């Protein structure tokens, strides 16, 4: 699904994969997220930007089940969803790839992909051969250049490690993917690898929330960008309608130049 197709889905009034409506949460009297609304469509990447403490990670942790919202509602495919734990989120086909990737460094790609969800033989033994075959199949689709199947993931490059983490999410039927700083500390070539993975996931119809501090990267990878500041949503704009300076103004000043423009 291309950027144009995801726009057409929105314009035609299609049902979002996710709707967050008036979400709020406070910690110790501090309003971390204050009546924030956001949606995501199939085949779309929505970027979340803001300074540390802006509320973007907290908002996403509510969707991933790490935090319980105080108020508001979450809709998945148009139906109200109760997400009180990461297990609940997975039942709604929501997978999160944190910056740390949560990989076991001493295990190979297949063991990481099926960690905690191992495939077994009819006699109940772990089916290593089948797990490797399935891992080769999913990685061939996502990253055809991946070759290091027998090495521990500690020996893999940053981009290859991202491939394993993404493959794990996609194999277990993720429809909504949350990616936290996916290219942090990666070189140019590895960043391009992750960008290609994101484009492949979009083409498969997944919806992706992308958290990053890199405005230029967001302009290149996302269909829309949403900016938060002090727990509030400053604005959500299509990337073709804004400049990088517009986004920076939203992040720093907490105002949306597109909404404040005075008609001629």
- Domain ranges within the chain, ordered by starting residue: 3-93+175-260, 106-173
- The structure tokens listed for 144 are 């055809």
Residue 227, class by beta-carbon neighbours within 10 Å (0-12 exposed, 13-18 middle, 19+ buried)?
A: buried
Residues with Cβ within 8 Å of 263's Cβ and at least 6 positions away in sequence, in order, are none
In eight-state DSSP terms, residue 126 is B
- Interacting residues of 68 by C-beta distance below 8 A, sequence separation 6+: 25, 62, 84
Say if residues 44 and 69 touch (Cβ distance below 8 Å). Answer: no
**Secondary structure E strands in 153-250:** 176-180, 207-211, 224-229, 232-238
**Rounded CA separation 177/54 (Å):** 21
**pLDDT category, 74, cuts 50, 70, 90?**
very high
Q: Which helix (H) or strand (E) holds 37?
A: strand 30-40
Residue 145 near residue 136, CB atoms below 8 Å: no
Task: Using the predicted structure, report yes or no on whether residue 209 has a pLDDT greater than 60.
Answer: yes
Per-residue model confidence (pLDDT) at position 141: 85
pLDDT at 264: 45
CA 228 distance to own-chain centroid: 16
End-to-end CA distance of the chain: 37
Out of 164-178, 182-196, 212-226, which region has the weakest mean confidence (pLDDT)?
182-196
Q: What is the pLDDT of residue 8?
A: 46
Tokens 């909404």: give the residue.
Answer: 259
Report the alpha-carbon distance of residue 115 to residue 163 in Å, rounded: 15
Residue 4 has pLDDT above 60, yes or no: no
Query: Going by DSSP bridges, is the β-strand pair 71-76/18-27 parallel, antiparallel, or unpaired?
Result: antiparallel
Q: Could you say which DSSP state residue 240 is in? A: G
Say if residue 53's pLDDT is above 80. yes
DSSP secondary structure code for residue 120 in this structure: B
Q: Which fold has domain 3-93+175-260?
A: Rossmann fold (3.40.50)
DSSP for 46-106?
A: EEEE--TTSSHHHHHHHHTTSS--SEEEEEETTEEE---SHHHHHHTTEEEE-TTTT--TT
Q: Which helix (H) or strand (E) holds 190?
A: helix 188-203
For residue 256, pLDDT over 90 is answered with: no
Partnered with residue 26 across adjacent β-strands are 31
pTM for the structure as a whole = 0.86
In whole angstroms, how far apart are CA 86 and each of 81, 82, 194, 255?
13, 11, 24, 33
- pLDDT tens track for 105-128: 999 999 999 998 999 999 999 999
Q: What integer pLDDT is reported at residue 31 of this predicted model? A: 94
pLDDT: is 13 or 75 the higher one? 75
Q: Residue 150 carries which DSSP code?
A: S
Per-residue pLDDT tens digits for 215-248: 888 999 999 999 999 999 999 999 999 999 999 9
């Amino acid at each position: 699904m291309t950027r144009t197709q995801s726009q057409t889905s929105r314009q035609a009034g299609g049902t979002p994969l996710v709707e967050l409506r008036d979400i709020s949460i406070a910690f110790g009297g501090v309003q971390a997220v204050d009546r924030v609304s956001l949606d995501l469509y199939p085949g779309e990447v929505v970027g979340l930007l803001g300074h540390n403490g802006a509320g973007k990670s907290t908002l996403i942790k509510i969707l991933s089940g790490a935090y319980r919202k105080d108020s508001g509602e979450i809709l998945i495919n148009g139906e109200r969803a109760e997400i009180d734990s990461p297990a609940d989120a997975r039942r709604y086909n929501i997978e999160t790839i944190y910056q740390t990737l949560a990989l076991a460094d001493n295990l190979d790609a297949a063991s990481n992909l099926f960690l905690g969800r191992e495939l077994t033989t009819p006699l109940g033994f772990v089916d290593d051969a089948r797990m490797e075959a399935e891992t080769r199949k999913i990685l061939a689709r996502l990253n055809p250049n991946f070759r290091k199947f027998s090495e521990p993931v500690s020996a893999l490059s940053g981009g290859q490690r991202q491939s394993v983490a993404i493959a794990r999410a996609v194999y277990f039927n993720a429809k909504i993917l949350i990616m936290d700083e996916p290219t942090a500390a990666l070189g140019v070539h590895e960043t391009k690898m992750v960008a290609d993975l994101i484009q492949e996931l979009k083409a498969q119809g997944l919806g992706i929330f992308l958290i990053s501090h890199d405005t230029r990267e967001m302009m290149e990878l996302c269909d829309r960008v949403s900016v938060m500041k002090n727990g509030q949503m400053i604005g959500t704009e299509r990337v073709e309608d804004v400049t990088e300076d517009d986004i920076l103004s939203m992040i720093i000043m907490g105002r949306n130049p597109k909404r404040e423009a005075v008609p001629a």
